[in-house]
Structure 1
Amino acid sequence: MSAYTALTAAGYRAQVRDRTTVFFTFAFPLIFLVVFGLIFRGQAVEESGFSYLSYTAAGVLSWGVANAAVFGIGFTLMQWRSDDILRMIRMSPAPLSSVIGSRYVLALGVGLVQSLLFVGVAMLPGFDLVPASRWPLLIPVMALGITTFLLLGVIVGSIADTPESVAGIANFLMLPMAFLSGSFFPLDAMPDWLQKISLVMPLRYLNDAVSAALIGRGDLSDIGLGSLGLVAFAVVFGAIAARAFRWTKTS
């Protein structure tokens, strides 16, 4: 068995054993969808004609998947470094790519299941948010989004040395980003200066691409532009993560 396969299998077993985390990982975006559906049902954004729910549905899915990627790898790297697991892996023939790659494939799996569950609920009568012909466009967008935010999570997990610091840093990054990137409120309803600030946040590009792919608020060019933005951030985060990564608490 290769190092990559062994690490992936071990990571999968660790994830499914923590049933509470598994439940809330998948339930959290759905809870937001139902809550926002009850609050904003029938309300439209005057500037675009789309419903508030169509904005928030795509944004909540984007935020939920991004959040899971950042927190998942962040906590894992911190814990493995604290328990000297990373040091032992470093002393083995396993390369760093196997460590990150094993977490990457798990994050892709979690994100795919999150997306399919969300799409299934969003297509139910009463929501009717997702045209049946469009949702497959979501898959490559989500893969890019998970890649980008997983690399951000590597940075968080490399900097932080305690669970509290992982949670603090990740929340400091993800919560303001969610509000300023249009995950919970339509960007069209925000002041122009806030809309410009959102352009330097990766979640803005994931939101835009998911909205175009999932709801139809945009076309293929919007999906392409959002995807290019995610690729650019992935390159930047990857470069920073490569320099910030630590096998032990001291190096």
Structure 2
Amino acid sequence: MSAYTALTRANYRAAVRDKTTVFFTFAFPLLFLIVFGLIFQGQTVKDDGPPYINYIAPGVLSWGVGNAAMFGVAFTLMHWRRDDILRLIWRTPASLTSVLASRYAIAVGVGLAQAALFIGVALLPGFGLRLASGWPLVLPVLVLGITTFMALGLVVGSLADTPEAVAAIANCIMVPMAFLSGSFFPADLMPPWVRDLSLALPLRYFNDGVLGTLSETHHGSAADYALSCAGLIGFAALFALVAAKTFRWSNRG
């Protein structure tokens, strides 16, 4: 058995062992969908505009997937370093690449499963999301978004030494970003300076990519799609570089 296979199995077993974490990973975004779906049921973004659900569902989806990718990796890295599991792995033939690749496979699998469940619920008559004809193009955007927020999670997990620190840093990043990037509120209705500021946030590109490929009423152009993907790739590279500079095998140095 290769190091990558063994680590992937270990990561998978650790991920499904905590039933509470698994439940909230999938239920948390759905809770926001249900709340916003009930509040804005039958309402439109603008007069005679598209239903609100066709905007909010993709936004909540991208936020939920990105949130899970960042938190999951950050907590895992922090715990492994605090418990000296990383130091033990360092002394084995397993490479850092194998460690990260195994965790990445789990993050992508969880993110895609989240998206499938979320879209399935959003399509129910009570919510009424209408998919664009080119909706499969959302898959590359999802993978790029997961990659970007996993890289951000590596930075958070490298800086934080306790679960409380991980939660505090991650929430301070993700909650404001959700509102500024348009996950919960249409970006078109925000002040111009907020829209300009959101271009410096990775979630804005994730939101735009998911919205433009998933929603029938907000279908974007090829240029919009390319910009969203390019933005996510750029942020993923930036966060990966920072993570490489801040990575520690152990809290003891």
Q: Give TM class, smaller chain.
A: over 0.9
Query: Is 2:212 the counterpart of 1:212?
Result: yes
One-letter amino acid of the counterpart of residue 9, structure 1: R
Percent sequence identity over aligned pairs: 62
Which is further off, 64-73 or 53-62?
53-62
- How far residue 100 of structure 1 moved from its aligned partner, in angstroms, is 0.9
Query: Is 2:112 the counterpart of 1:112?
Result: yes
Which is further off, 148-157 or 26-35?
26-35
Aligned residues of 2:59 and 2:182 also touching (Cα < 8 A): yes
User: Residues 91-118 of structure 1, C-alpha deviation per residue, up to 9 Å, x if partnerless?
Assistant: 1111111111111000000001001011
- Per the alignment, residue 154 of structure 1 pairs with 154
User: Residues 187-239 of structure 1, C-alpha deviation per residue, up to 9 Å, x if partnerless?
Assistant: 11111111111000000000000001110312332222111100010111111
Gaps of 5+ in 2: none
Q: Tell me, in whole angstroms, the C-alpha distance in 1 between the residues paired with 2:88 and 2:137.
A: 41
Instruction: Please report the RMSD computed on the Cα atoms of aligned residues, expressed in angstroms.
Output: 1.4
- How far residue 133 of structure 1 moved from its aligned partner, in angstroms, is 3.2
User: Residues 112-139 of structure 1, C-alpha deviation per residue, up to 9 Å, x if partnerless?
Assistant: 1001011111222232213263331211
Q: Tell me, in whole angstroms, the C-alpha distance in 2 between the residues paired with 1:29 and 1:137.
A: 21
Aligned residues of 1:119 and 1:130 also touching (Cα < 8 A): no
Q: Secondary structure of the residue that 2:199 maps to in structure 1?
A: helix
Q: Secondary structure of the residue that 1:184 maps to in structure 2?
A: coil
Q: Tell me, in whole angstroms, the C-alpha distance in 2 between the residues paired with 1:66 and 1:130.
A: 22
Which is further off, 28-37 or 200-209?
28-37
One-letter amino acid of the counterpart of residue 244, structure 1: T
Q: Tell me, in whole angstroms, the C-alpha distance in 2 between the residues paired with 1:102 and 1:47.
A: 48
- Per the alignment, residue 46 of structure 1 pairs with 46
One-letter amino acid of the counterpart of residue 242, structure 1: A
- Per the alignment, residue 64 of structure 1 pairs with 64
- Per the alignment, residue 9 of structure 2 pairs with 9
Q: Secondary structure of the residue that 1:232 maps to in structure 2?
A: helix
User: Residues 64-101 of structure 1, C-alpha deviation per residue, up to 9 Å, x if partnerless?
Assistant: 00000000000000000011000011111111111111
Q: Tell me, in whole angstroms, the C-alpha distance in 2 between the residues paired with 1:242 and 1:77.
A: 13
Cα distance, 1:48–1:239 mapped onto 2, change above 3 Å: farther
Which is further off, 24-33 or 143-152?
24-33
**TM-score, normalization by structure 1:** 0.96
Query: Is 2:74 the counterpart of 1:98?
Result: no
One-letter amino acid of the counterpart of residue 160, structure 1: A
Q: Tell me, in whole angstroms, the C-alpha distance in 1 between the residues paired with 2:25 and 2:61.
A: 11
- How far residue 52 of structure 1 moved from its aligned partner, in angstroms, is 2.2
Q: Tell me, in whole angstroms, the C-alpha distance in 2 between the residues paired with 1:132 and 1:124.
A: 16
- How far residue 42 of structure 1 moved from its aligned partner, in angstroms, is 1.9
Q: Tell me, in whole angstroms, the C-alpha distance in 2 between the residues paired with 1:126 and 1:13.
A: 35
- Per the alignment, residue 229 of structure 1 pairs with 231
One-letter amino acid of the counterpart of residue 92, structure 1: T
- How far residue 48 of structure 1 moved from its aligned partner, in angstroms, is 8.7
- Per the alignment, residue 249 of structure 1 pairs with 251
Q: Secondary structure of the residue that 1:200 maps to in structure 2?
A: coil
- How far residue 172 of structure 1 moved from its aligned partner, in angstroms, is 0.7
**TM-score, normalization by structure 2:** 0.95
Which is further off, 215-224 or 44-53?
44-53
Which is further off, 19-28 or 40-49?
40-49
- Per the alignment, residue 73 of structure 1 pairs with 73
Gaps of 5+ in 1: none
Aligned residues of 2:107 and 2:146 also touching (Cα < 8 A): yes
Of 229, 233, 240, the match for 1:238: 240
Q: Tell me, in whole angstroms, the C-alpha distance in 2 between the residues paired with 1:69 and 1:174.
A: 11
